[in-house]
Chains A and B, each alone.
Chain A
Amino acid sequence: MGEKLLMKGNDAMAEGAVRAGCRFFAGYPITPQNEVPEYMSWRLPQAGGAFIQAESEVAAINMLYGSAATGIRCMTSSSSPGISLKQEGISYAAGADLPIFFANVVRGGPGLGNIAGAQGDYFQSVRGGGHGDYRTFVMAPDSVEEMGNFPLHCYAVAEKYRIPAMILTDGVLGQMMEPLEFKFPEVDPKKLSEPDWALGECRGRKNRLVGSYDLYEGRLEVMTLNRAKRYAEIEAKEVMFEAQQCDDAQIVLVAYGISARACGAALKMARAEGLKVGLFRPITLWPFPKKQLRELADRVQGFLVVEMSLGQMVDDVRLATEFRAPVHLHARPSGVTPTGEEILKKIKDTLKAGKGECVCCK
Chain B
Amino acid sequence: MFQGIRISGFGGQGIISSGVLLAYAGMLDGKHVSFFPSYGAEMRGGTANCSVVISSDDVTTPVVSQPDTVIVMNEPSLAKFEPFLKPGGLMIINESLVKSRPQRKDIKVVLVACNKIADELKAPKIANMVALGAFCKQTGALSIEAVAKAMPKVFKRAKPEILELNIQALKRGAGLN
**Chain A residues packing against B (C-beta within 8 Å):** 4, 6, 31-32, 115, 171-172, 175-179, 258, 261-262, 264-265, 267-268, 337, 339-341
Q: Which of B27, B35, B61 contacts A4 (CB 8 A)?
A: B27
**Known contacts A6-B23, A179-B33, A262-B60: does B65 contact A115 (CB below 8 Å)?**
no
Q: Judge whether B27 and A179 touch: CB under 8 Å.
A: yes
User: Which single residue of chain B is at the shortest CB-CB distance from A177?
Assistant: B35
User: Which single residue of chain A is at the shortest CB-CB distance from B31?
Assistant: A179
List 7 interface pairs A-B (beta carbons < 8 Å), by A numbering: A178-B35, A178-B59, A261-B60, A264-B60, A265-B61, A339-B63, A341-B66
Q: Judge whether A337 and B61 touch: CB under 8 Å.
A: yes
Q: Identify which of B40, B63, B153 gathers the most chain A CB atoms within 10 Å of its CB.
A: B63
- Shortest Cβ distance from residue A8 to the other chain B in the assembled complex, whole angstroms: 9
User: Which single residue of chain A is at the shortest CB-CB distance from B27?
Assistant: A179
Leading 10 A-B pairs by shortest Cβ distance: A264-B60, A265-B60, A339-B65, A177-B35, A176-B36, A262-B61, A176-B62, A265-B61, A261-B61, A179-B27
Q: Judge whether B61 and A178 touch: CB under 8 Å.
A: no
Please, which residues of chain A bring their CB within 8 A of the CB of B36?
A: 172, 175-177
Please, which residues of chain B bring their CB within 8 A of the CB of A171?
A: 39
Q: Identify which of A6, A175, A267, A337 gathers the most chain B CB atoms within 10 Å of its CB.
A: A6
Q: Judge whether B24 and A264 touch: CB under 8 Å.
A: no
Q: Judge whether B61 and A339 touch: CB under 8 Å.
A: yes
Taken residue by residue from 27 to 60, chain B's Cβ proximity to chain A (1 for < 8 Å, 0 otherwise) reads as: 1000011111101110000000000000000111
Tell me the complex Cα distance, A258–B60, Å. Answer: 9
**Chain B residues packing against A (C-beta within 8 Å):** 20, 23-24, 27, 32-37, 39-41, 58-63, 65-66, 153
- Shortest Cβ distance from residue A126 to the other chain B in the assembled complex, whole angstroms: 24
Report the number of A-B residue pairs with Cβ-Cβ less than 8 Å: 63
Q: Which of B35, B61, B66 contacts A264 (CB 8 A)?
A: B61
Q: Judge whether B34 and A177 touch: CB under 8 Å.
A: yes
Q: Identify which of A176, A258, A262 gathers the most chain B CB atoms within 10 Å of its CB.
A: A176
- Shortest Cβ distance from residue A300 to the other chain B in the assembled complex, whole angstroms: 22
- Shortest Cβ distance from residue B56 to the other chain A in the assembled complex, whole angstroms: 13
Please, which residues of chain B bring their CB within 8 A of the CB of A268?
A: 60
Please, which residues of chain B bring their CB within 8 A of the CB of A264?
A: 58, 60-61
Q: Judge whether B60 and A115 touch: CB under 8 Å.
A: no
User: Which single residue of chain B is at the shortest CB-CB distance from A261?
Assistant: B61
Please, which residues of chain A bring their CB within 8 A of the CB of B58?
A: 264
User: Which single residue of chain B is at the shortest CB-CB distance from A4?
Assistant: B27
Q: Judge whether A177 and B23 touch: CB under 8 Å.
A: yes
Tell me the complex Cα distance, A218–B36, Å. Answer: 53
Please, which residues of chain B bring their CB within 8 A of the CB of A258?
A: 61
Q: Judge whether B59 and A340 touch: CB under 8 Å.
A: no
Please, which residues of chain A bring their CB within 8 A of the CB of B65?
A: 339-341
Q: Judge whether B39 and A32 touch: CB under 8 Å.
A: yes
Q: Other CB < 8 Å A-B pairs besides A171-B39, A175-B37, A264-B58, 5 of them?
A: A175-B36, A177-B20, A178-B33, A178-B34, A261-B62
